[in-house]
Amino acid sequence: MKDTTHDFPDGRIFVGGTWEHGQGAPITSTFSHDGSANITFNGASREDGERAIARAKAAQADPAWRNMLPHERAKLLHRIADGIEANIDRISRLQSRDTGKTLTETAALAASAVGTFRYFAAVLETSDETLTSRRGTSLTASVHEPIGVVGAITPWNSPIASDAQKLAPALAAGNAVVLKPSSWSPLVSLELARICEEAGLPKGLLSVLPGSGREVGNLIVEHADIGRIAFTGGTDTGRRLGEQAGRKLMPISLELGGKSPTIVFEDADQDLAVAGILFGIFSSSGQSCIAGSRLFVQRSIYDAFVEKLVAATKKLRVGDPFAKGTQVAPLINTEHRDAVEGYIKGAVEEGGEILCGGKRPEGDQYANGAYIEPTIIAGLPNTAKTCREEIFGPVLVVLPFDDEADVIAQGNDNDYGLACGIWTRDFPRAWCVAGAIKAGTVWINTYKQFSISTPFGGDGASGMGREKGREGLRVWQRQKGIYCDLTGQPHPWAGVPA
Ligand code: NAD
């Protein structure tokens, strides 16, 4: 492997606490700046998955884990957070090699994973069981228990952050977790397994199984011993998994795609709006579920604002994710780059006008990389395919609107409902639009800001269920009502025994 920043045993996967050679198809992680291979190894097979689940079941049933007191389990989560924190530099380099994201972005993702483990340690220690109001002669209580063995299936765009968002609350809740990261970005999830192991997570409670979605992912969803799934990924996959979970009557949360509207009213601070919009769509090269990929600008300022935005976009620094100052790095790989290019071609065929970008950057340093210039497209109606479908690349469509009612109608006229950005100095108006727009998260005069204490999720084709926040622990537990008789008397229905 060219990059030596990982600590897990080379070429192995983590099967129920043991580093083993996978029995599945080979996986190659590439560095998308120049197309070089980081590492090739065998991913997990169905049999590896079966073994992982069996070990997880045994480990979770062990009273030492199942009955571990919350403050003791919280200590373990803090040790995992410490392990990530001590290695942020190394982890971010690894993730930049694996995904092509800039070092600034991957360092932020690693730092957010630290925060996630610490937050759920705190939630665990402060989430009380409740005595409920008595309605009779019993003491009544609501308590929470682990589900058992649970599955986490994650995509390639922000692996350590999406892994942590599932692992931290699931382990806090007392479960064992079988994690399947994407084959396109397997390395950081394996490194996280190594850190959990070093932190003293009991053997068997975690498996990390990079491998085929149809083989290993499908096994995790269908397996009778898996009691809950948290999935982050594309909408088509999410729908399929939702159907499978429904047949099993198994809870599932689905964090899916988006085509999020950003709205600029005529009274907005335009410099702030331009900076926020650039960050919202072009950071991570647009490979972000919450990317603000549909921009609505009020007609009275449309021409001048779009001109300003295009000028700022042309100044973005596109390049090597490891180079200081890079803002727009390559996409995950050339396969995905080709798919994004297909969308740009489709936009032109639909009658769209490319205002900037739309092609690969020129120059030797880009020759072997999965690059696309930041692209802005105008002149399409909201009904065009380019405006309806998630592109998952550095591509922004701009559309004009007349007034609040018009932009709410256009913004909501889309299957997705993940996020929205609103730029205005009129706070009551912003509040009103925020309430009317179909989105799990709304940002006012900012974009793509995250807090682990604020719930996150989507509506419509963007999924169902929420992660993060205090309630993020409860979704990984079963709730149970307990009644305890206080009278010591036989039930009157039965009469007094002779
Ligand atoms: P994907 O749906 O192709 O894959 C996601 C994961 O599911 C991968 O690990 C994959 O191997 C697995 N998978 C695929 N088919 C499966 C099957 N039949 N059974 C079980 N598992 C299966 O998505 P992707 O291309 O990896 O990620 C990009 C998508 O993820 C985008 O649509 C993006 O918007 C979405 N995403 C959503 C969020 C969110 O929080 N809403 C966050 C990040 C990414």
The residues facing 467 across adjacent strands are 456
pLDDT-derived band of residue 321, with 50, 70 and 90 as boundaries? very high
* Catalytic-residue membership of 356: no
Find tokens 């071609």 and name the residue. Answer: 345
Instruction: Find out whether 376 and 278 touch, Cβ atoms under 8 Å.
Output: no
Instruction: Find out whether 408 and 424 touch, Cβ atoms under 8 Å.
Output: no
Residue among 347, 416, 414 at smallest CA distance from 379: 347
Nearest ligand 1 atom to the CA of 467 is 40
The per-residue pLDDT for 354 is: 98
Q: What is the pLDDT of residues 345-359, one digit of tens each?
A: 999 999 999 999 999
Average pLDDT over residues 291-307: 98
pLDDT above 50 for 330: yes
Q: How far is CA 333 from the centre of its chain?
A: 19
Helices (H) and strands (E) in the chain, counts: 16, 22
pLDDT-derived band of residue 9, with 50, 70 and 90 as boundaries? confident
C-alpha 389 – ligand 1 centre gap (Å): 15
CATH of domain 5-256+462-482: 3.40.605.10
Q: CA 446 to CA 464: how far, in whole Å?
A: 24
Q: What is the pLDDT of residues 427-441, one digit of tens each?
A: 999 999 999 999 999
Q: Which of 237, 389, 454 to mutate to test the pocket of ligand 1 (most atoms within 8 A of CB)?
A: 237
Q: CA 263 to CA 273: how far, in whole Å?
A: 9
Atom 43 of ligand 1 has which residue's CA nearest to it?
Answer: 289
The per-residue pLDDT for 3 is: 53
Q: What is the pLDDT of residues 465-487, one digit of tens each?
A: 999 999 999 999 999 999 999 99
Sign of the torsion formed by the C-alpha atoms of 480, 243, 465 and 70: positive
* Structure token pair of residue 126: 């402060």
The residues facing 252 across adjacent strands are 229
In the chain, CATH 3.40.605.10 sits at 5-256+462-482
Q: Which letter does DSSP use for residue 86 in this model?
A: H
pLDDT above 80 for 422: yes
Average pLDDT over residues 372-388: 98
pLDDT-derived band of residue 498, with 50, 70 and 90 as boundaries? low
Q: What is the pLDDT of residues 158-215, one digit of tens each?
A: 999 999 999 999 999 999 999 999 999 999 999 999 999 999 999 999 999 999 999 9
**Mean pLDDT value across the chain:** 96
Instruction: Find out whether 42 and 28 touch, Cβ atoms under 8 Å.
Output: no
pLDDT above 90 for 2: no
The per-residue pLDDT for 1 is: 46
Q: How far is CA 114 from the centre of its chain?
A: 15
Q: Residues with Cβ within 6 A of ligand 1?
A: 153-157, 180-182, 213-214, 217-218, 221, 232-234, 237, 240-241, 255-258, 289, 390, 392, 418, 458, 463
pLDDT above 90 for 282: yes
**The one-letter amino acid at 491:** H
Q: Which of 154, 157, 391 to mutate to test the pocket of ligand 1 (most atoms within 8 A of CB)?
A: 157
C-alpha 483 – ligand 1 centre gap (Å): 42
Q: What is the pLDDT of residues 18-61, one digit of tens each?
A: 999 999 999 999 999 999 999 999 999 999 999 999 999 999 99
Q: How far is CA 300 from the centre of its chain?
A: 37
Atom 18 of ligand 1 has which residue's CA nearest to it?
Answer: 214
3-state SS class at 141: strand
Q: CA 242 to CA 222: how far, in whole Å?
A: 11
Q: What is the pLDDT of residues 84-115, one digit of tens each?
A: 999 999 999 999 999 999 999 999 999 999 99
**Nearest-5° Cα angle at 14, 12 to 19:** 55
Average pLDDT over residues 368-396: 98
The per-residue pLDDT for 205 is: 98
Average pLDDT over residues 389-412: 98
The per-residue pLDDT for 194 is: 97
Domain 261-444 CATH superfamily: Aldehyde Dehydrogenase; Chain A, domain 2 (3.40.309.10)
The per-residue pLDDT for 495 is: 83
Tell me the C-alpha to C-alpha distance, in Å, between residue 251 and each of 81, 99, 241, 314: 28, 30, 11, 46
